[in-house]
Structure 1
Amino acid sequence: MKSKTRLTGRVIFKGDSGYESARKNWDPHTDKYPKVFVFAQRTQDVANAIKWARENNVPIRPRSGRHSLEVNLSQVNSGIVIDVSNMKKIKLNKKQGTVIVQTGNRVGRIAKTLAKQGFIAPFGDSPSVGIGGITLGGGIGPLQRSIGLISDNLLEVEMVNAKGKVIRANKKCNADLLWASRGGGGGNFGVYTKYKFKVHRAPAEATVYRITWPWNQFEKVLKAWQKWAPFVNDKLGSELSIGPKKGGNVTMEGLFLGSKSEAIRLLKPVTCVGTPTNKLIRLLPYTEAVNFLLPPDPVLTQRTSNQFSSGFARKPFPNKAIKSMRKFLENVEGGAGFFFLNWGGAVSRVLPRSTAFYWRKAKFYVEWNSSWINQAEAAKNIAIVRNTRRKLDPFIVGSYINVPDQGIKNSGPVYYGANYPRLRRIKAKYDPGNVFQNPQSITPARK
């Protein structure tokens, strides 16, 4: 390949040693073979990689946490993968209440580092997710009702555009790009290298909880949870997981930024339902509360592939929706199931159009997944997830870009709602040639 620009950073071509381990993703069945991986050590390495890719007409995929839930969104055949996972600086400014993090950081590392310094950094349900992907897609999690989505706390970004030029976006400069970066999804506008967030003082202590019920009580528990969770105190985040009938159970966990006695009182409407087999409600130093909610989650030793889908519910699931859930849960096994997260609070106080993340008015978020080890089971498992989406369609709106489902046709309005046309215009401004694309990326608006 002839090229003016030289690749810098740690460069691994197809055929080099280390290529197979560079190909590994969270999903073990990655079937794409990129031409080259560039593990960027600094912003300039990213710029060089983009310029090199343009000169050689090679498709680009950015990657940070290797945690993409769809098997092939962060790799592409004969392309270049710009992996930013080595860029890990974290710079806290206590006086200003801000933190600048490089894009290679994982959520758990940031949350735990800041907790030790007495600050809250928002997180989701896994410590190994890259801060880049989770932020750009919105960033949901158990703290969102207190402090908003991860992207609601985003103040500034540094990004390398399609020409290999480093640009910044904040309220004063490239404000439209900042707007789009708050929920417009990764891999659409450029390769991001730095994020500046506002941070919040952490309480000295927080109450964590985990309650478990037998699987056959899931309907009772879900009905109680969905009536209660969206309206409870804003300082209480609640995740409800329902495993498969075969070997699964029902677990409600989360945290309350307050006392144990108050948590017990607030949780009562759900804990008094059915016969819980396990009940843990514990006041912990805030640092330990973060560790409790973000237990180790190894990325590259997964054995199972997954198919996910997701949506937002504006009112409680009626019996008809719960019946479709039951059918799904009776037919899947392994690490499959349903996951719910309560909405409201700070998330719903932001208007749907004031950031790219549109789905503000929901009562709860829901996702479901099927998993398999043997590739021969893939088609059957993918089909059951997508079929369940069709059945739940009357009861949900939209879908969460960070839990992508390539079965969704014309996905733009499903992920971004009424914000999609504006995102297309911003795409046309910052990436008119559609250099940054994947099977569900934003298409530039036509002039």
Structure 2
Amino acid sequence: MSTGVSRRAAVATAVGVGMSGLLAACTDGSPTPPTRTATTEPVPTPTGPATWSALAAATTGTLLRPGSSGWDAARVLRNPRYDDADPLGILRVASAEDVAAGFAFARATRMPVALRAGGHSYTGWSAGGAPGTDVPRSLVISTADLRSIDVASDGGTVTIGPGARLLDVYERLAAAGRAIGAGSCATVGIGGLTLGGGLGVLVRSFGLTCDQLTAATLVTPDGRQHRVSATAEPDLFWACRGGGGGTVGAVTSLTFRTRPAPEVLTFGIAFPWAAAADVVAAWQRWAPTADRRLWSSLKLLGGTRHPGGPSVTVSGTWTGPRTAADAAVDGFIRDTGATPLAHTATSASYGTAMRALAGNGARASEAATSSVGTKPLDAVGIRTLVGQVEGASSVAGVTEGGVALDALGGAVADPAATDTAFPWRSALWTAQYTATFADGADPAPFDAVVRGFRAAMRPSWGDAAYANYCDAAITDPSAYFGGNTERLRGIARAADPDGLLRQPHWV
């Protein structure tokens, strides 16, 4: 769910899925840092601003240092497990020129850089130096303040700053009678979501968010601005469509193709846990090949939030006539052979439906990883899936743990695997393994839960994973990018030959 990398229910950075905090204004344009060891101070070279005061003078955004007013709020990321982050500084940019100045400062001082936008990176790489992330103390370049949302006069396109949160995007588009398909978390930044691909609740009818991207403005680590599209610097544009945040530069604006805002039916069905295996079997026969106007998610979850035992639910959206939706969903229910515990369905406008699906965006300590489902599960695979959820439920301290299978197919499968950096065009679904836990708890047992779940499903689905659900334990980037890895690596090397945006186990 951007970082210098991507992520998110997931879900991303300004150029990437990153971890964003609330930054207060700096009261002094050139803050005086506290005394630090020589190894944490810039080492000047002849080019670019070479001191913190020079960087502050060269930018119009907000530069924060440890000890500055608002510093503690600025370090707060979406996942509290990274609240001990200790970056060298945070530059909250106001323009593409500020990004270029930040890169110049990093080059001049040989300082690591972490990119950040919406604040939902699973790995904490955009924190700029959180313990356990294998990222050194860095300059965080945050595009969280680039939040403009400008709908074209004819409504056909919308140009959005990467820091704009999804709920704000939906509400602005709905007011104009237009729509795009994107994620379901209110606080995810559009930049990181798009750069990693962009799964969402309308994905089977609209395509991935990156499929709706028509152009972007990108600042590469050499400080140059690029307006990229299918015809202008197409390699960079290709990399921005699913290649992950923090791969080739920092995106400062994105232009999307829109369509008229549809009426959206949302539905939810709860089944008894005893029927879990039958529900999984029926759902995988139905969801990826259903009418593309129908998207659904199958969740099997346990933990203390489910005191009566694990739950199995199916929720989804439909953008066609209500009668056709009723027939499709009723057919699925019959195929399960189970009687639902509850079944709800509500028709609403695009804006109202997206608001209802967005949730509250609350912070939660979480461990997560993913798979990409490339084939249906056999009986053994289904038993393994259900058994892993039951096992996660019994782990001490798990507030909620399990798996969400989100249907692909439909419009996702229209492009070829090499048309964008996102390679999993023929996949059936993504699998997101999660475990939430109390703030301040040791994350190791919960990382073991989700990574054990992924390992258990490897015989069925192999190593494929989703870039916006990045996992520090995945050391081969081809897990995210498949056959597109070498092309993406070549583009990244050309854009960033000195490795300024280097991230653990990335391209």
Same fold, TM-score > 0.5, yes or no: yes
Query: Where does residue 346 of structure 2 map in the other structure?
Result: 282
CA distance in 2, matches of 1:174, 1:374: 44
Query: Where does residue 361 of structure 1 map in the other structure?
Result: 426
1:406 alignment partner AA: A
Counterpart among 475, 479, 482 of residue 409 in structure 1: 475
Contact 1:353/1:419, CA 8 A, preserved across alignment: yes
In the TM superposition, 1:263-342 aligns within 5 A as 263-272=325-334, 273=336, 274-298=338-362, 302=363, 304-332=364-392, 333-342=398-407
In the TM superposition, 1:196-235 aligns within 5 A as 196-203=255-262, 205-235=263-293
1:49 aligns with 2:114: no
Counterpart among 72, 76, 79 of residue 125 in structure 2: 72
Query: Where does residue 193 of structure 1 map in the other structure?
Result: 252
Contact 2:216/2:254, CA 8 A, preserved across alignment: yes
Q: SS where residue 489 of structure 2 aligns?
A: helix
CA distance in 2, matches of 1:376, 1:196: 41
Contact 2:277/2:383, CA 8 A, preserved across alignment: no
Query: Where does residue 431 of structure 1 map in the other structure?
Result: 496
CA distance in 1, matches of 2:199, 2:265: 20
CA distance in 2, matches of 1:440, 1:32: 20
CA distance in 1, matches of 2:453, 2:184: 23
Shift of 1:388: 2.0
Shift of 1:133: 0.7
2:467 alignment partner AA: I
Shift of 1:336: 1.5
- State the number of aligned residues: 436
Contact 1:307/1:405, CA 8 A, preserved across alignment: no
What whole-Å deviation, never above 9, does each CA across 1:82-133 have from its counterpart, x for those lacking one?
Answer: 1111111111114261111111101221122102211111121312111111
CA distance in 1, matches of 2:350, 2:98: 37
What whole-Å deviation, never above 9, does each CA across 1:198-224 have from its counterpart, x for those lacking one?
Answer: 111122x22111112233332221111
CA distance in 1, matches of 2:274, 2:187: 32
What do you get for the CA RMSD once the two structures are aligned?
A: 1.7
In the TM superposition, 1:116-195 aligns within 5 A as 116-195=175-254
Shift of 1:377: 4.2
Contact 2:276/2:386, CA 8 A, preserved across alignment: no
* Larger mean Cα displacement after TM superposition, 289-298 or 221-230: 289-298
Tell me, which stretches of 5 or more residues in structure 2 are unaligned? 1-41, 130-135, 393-397
Q: Percent identity?
A: 30
Contact 1:135/1:150, CA 8 A, preserved across alignment: yes
TM-score (norm. length: structure 2): 0.83
Contact 2:433/2:450, CA 8 A, preserved across alignment: yes
CA distance in 1, matches of 2:295, 2:478: 28
CA distance in 2, matches of 1:216, 1:78: 49
Query: Where does residue 6 of structure 1 map in the other structure?
Result: 55
Contact 1:229/1:238, CA 8 A, preserved across alignment: yes
CA distance in 2, matches of 1:29, 1:57: 28
Q: In structure 2, do the counterparts of structure 1 residues 140 and 87 end up closer, same or farther at CA, with 3 Å as the change threshold? A: same
Q: SS where residue 340 of structure 1 aligns?
A: strand
CA distance in 2, matches of 1:209, 1:202: 19
Q: SS where residue 102 of structure 2 aligns?
A: helix
Query: Where does residue 239 of structure 1 map in the other structure?
Result: 297
Q: In structure 2, do the counterparts of structure 1 residues 405 and 381 end up closer, same or farther at CA, with 3 Å as the change threshold? A: same
